[in-house]
A and B are shown apart, each in its own frame.
Chain A
Amino acid sequence: MRRAALLAAAAATYAVAAWMVAPGFYDGFGPPQPYNWTCPPPQAGANLKPSSGHQDIKVLGGVSDANSAFTEDGQVVIGFLPGAFDVTGKTVISVDIVPLPTCPQPAGIRFVTNVYQITANAPLLKPANLVLRYSNLEPDPSDVYFATDPAGSWKSIGRAQTAQPFTVDTSTREFGYFAAGYPSASPPPGAVQIGGGQTLPIVVAILIALVVVAGIPLALRRRRGVSTEDKDGPEDV
């Protein structure tokens, strides 16, 4: 009984500790830090405002330098190759990344990240590499979407092979508004997934049912003395 009580206490302690943090803390699959939401979903818990970012890129010998601009929280990184900008009349290229203070949800698209406005004081000549981090509380996005006006039409600019879990990569030849998401008319991409989403309560319910259904005959067998004692076997708790 003492062992059973200790196990029950440990299970209760675990439940309390796990309830205090966002789900998904097993073995490093989760993002390195919680996502900072403009409009946090109810389950997000404590939330910090998303950060903005600024970068001044030098123009050397009439060519813009290779550099990256990123938000302070690392949720957006945009990288530029040498000569990525049309530097006519410029000695420094300024790039700004600002999270949109609102959360547009255009028809037919479900965003899973904040919307970010990326601007620069010079147009692009070469594609820039854009990386958006997303939360483990949302489905895997299928695309990065782009708009010149957040209230206007959004178009997919695709996504490249993901470099790391919970990031989505793409490239862009123009600046404007960016967010990651998926077509809301279709199931979330990566829907062939294990666990997560609405399936998790079902998984837990099935586990409990299995334990109960399989446990009853096992308990009855033990009560009838069918089971033989075995020193290395699991003990009753």
Chain B
Amino acid sequence: MISAFGSVHPARRAVLLGAYVLLVEWSRALIQKEPHMAVAGLVLGGAALVLVAAGWPADRLGLGTSRLGLRILGGLALGAVLLLPAAARSAAVPMLPAGLAVAAVAVSVGEELAFRGALYAALEELGGAPLAIVGTTALWTAAHALSHPPAFLEAVAAAGLLLALWRWACRDLVGPVIGHVIADLSL
């Protein structure tokens, strides 16, 4: 996809990427509300989000393989942090039916590649790390506005901020992908 935007001004590219990601996420949320379309909406939405990362160099997305052990370890740690509040409630945990597991993986990988991957890279190129962190967190929160009750959006925003800060602090996307997948599978 970057090849299609290769000659586009960074600001225009960031706006186009942001609009596309929001469109996919909101469409996914609406599709999921139709009977029997929840899994299809998640899988198709995840696939559409993965497309955003197509053409970007792996290192620009934070997907380098150096120090892979640390990256994976970071992902496990992020997963633990994301799940800790629910785990601390003991029996207060929801359950994800096994049939949704594939969909959970698809959408969480797609979201990370789109938000903390391509969108982060585009915004960082445009305005540096502060814009990338704030911008991806804001778009991430807006993207979940149709699929989540308003009361949940503060927690969604906080999760987005944590993952974006990790992306900035560690220059790594492997950790957020693993952490997000673990969280989606477990809740």
Q: Is B2 an interface residue (CB 8 A)?
A: no
Q: Are A11 and B104 in contact (CB under 8 A)?
A: no
Q: Which of A23, A44, A197, A210 has the most CB of B within 10 A?
A: A23
- Docked complex Cα distance between A196 and B168 (Å): 31
- B-contact 0/1 string along A1-31, CB 8 Å cutoff: 0011011001101111111111111111110
Q: Is A198 an interface residue (CB 8 A)?
A: yes
B residues 112-159 with Cβ under 8 Å of A?
144, 147-149, 151-152, 154-159
Q: Is B50 an interface residue (CB 8 A)?
A: no
- Docked complex Cα distance between A218 and B67 (Å): 10
User: Which of B90, B91, B166, B187 sits near A24, CB closer than 8 Å?
Assistant: B187
Q: Is B53 an interface residue (CB 8 A)?
A: no
User: Which of B32, B88, B165 sits near A28, CB closer than 8 Å?
Assistant: B32
Q: Is A201 an interface residue (CB 8 A)?
A: yes
Name the CB-closest residue of A to B137.
A10
Name the CB-closest residue of B to A161.
B36
In terms of DSSP, what is the predominant structure of the interface of chain B? helix
Given contacts A18-B158, A28-B148, contact A232 B59 (CB under 8 A): yes
Binds B, one of A56-64, A88-96, A147-155, A186-194: A186-194
How distant is A201 from chain B, measured CB to nearest CB, in Å? 5
Given contacts A6-B165, A165-B38, A204-B80, contact A29 B155 (CB under 8 A): no
User: Which of B59, B107, B155 sits near A18, CB closer than 8 Å?
Assistant: B155
User: Which of A140, A200, A233 sits near B66, CB closer than 8 Å?
Assistant: A233
Binds A, one of B4-12, B13-21, B70-78: B70-78
Chain B residues near A44 (CB, 8 Å)? 92
Name the CB-closest residue of B to A44.
B92
Q: Are A20 and B155 in contact (CB under 8 A)?
A: yes
Q: Are A211 and B73 in contact (CB under 8 A)?
A: yes
| Chain A: interface size category | 35 or more
Q: Are B147 and A27 in contact (CB under 8 A)?
A: yes
Q: Is A66 an interface residue (CB 8 A)?
A: no
Chain B residues near A27 (CB, 8 Å)? 42, 104, 107-108, 111, 144, 147, 184
User: Which of A24, A163, A190 sits near B94, CB closer than 8 Å?
Assistant: A24
Chain A residues near B93 (CB, 8 Å)? 23-24, 137, 195-197, 200
Name the CB-closest residue of A to B173.
A234
Q: Are A193 and B95 in contact (CB under 8 A)?
A: yes
Name the CB-closest residue of B to A13.
B158
Q: Which residues does B use to contact A, with CB under 8 Å?
A: 28-29, 32-33, 35-36, 38, 42, 59, 64, 66-67, 69-71, 73-74, 76-77, 79-98, 100-101, 104, 107-108, 111, 144, 147-149, 151-152, 154-159, 161-162, 165-166, 168-172, 175, 182-187
Given contacts A14-B159, A165-B97, A233-B172, 13 further A-B contacts (CB under 8 A): A4-B169, A18-B155, A19-B88, A23-B92, A24-B94, A26-B159, A26-B187, A27-B42, A28-B32, A29-B96, A34-B151, A200-B86, A230-B67
Can you list 18 residue pairs at the A/B interface with Cβ under 8 Å?
A: A10-B158, A13-B158, A14-B85, A19-B85, A23-B89, A23-B93, A25-B152, A26-B184, A28-B148, A29-B94, A196-B186, A197-B95, A201-B87, A203-B83, A204-B84, A211-B73, A211-B76, A234-B67
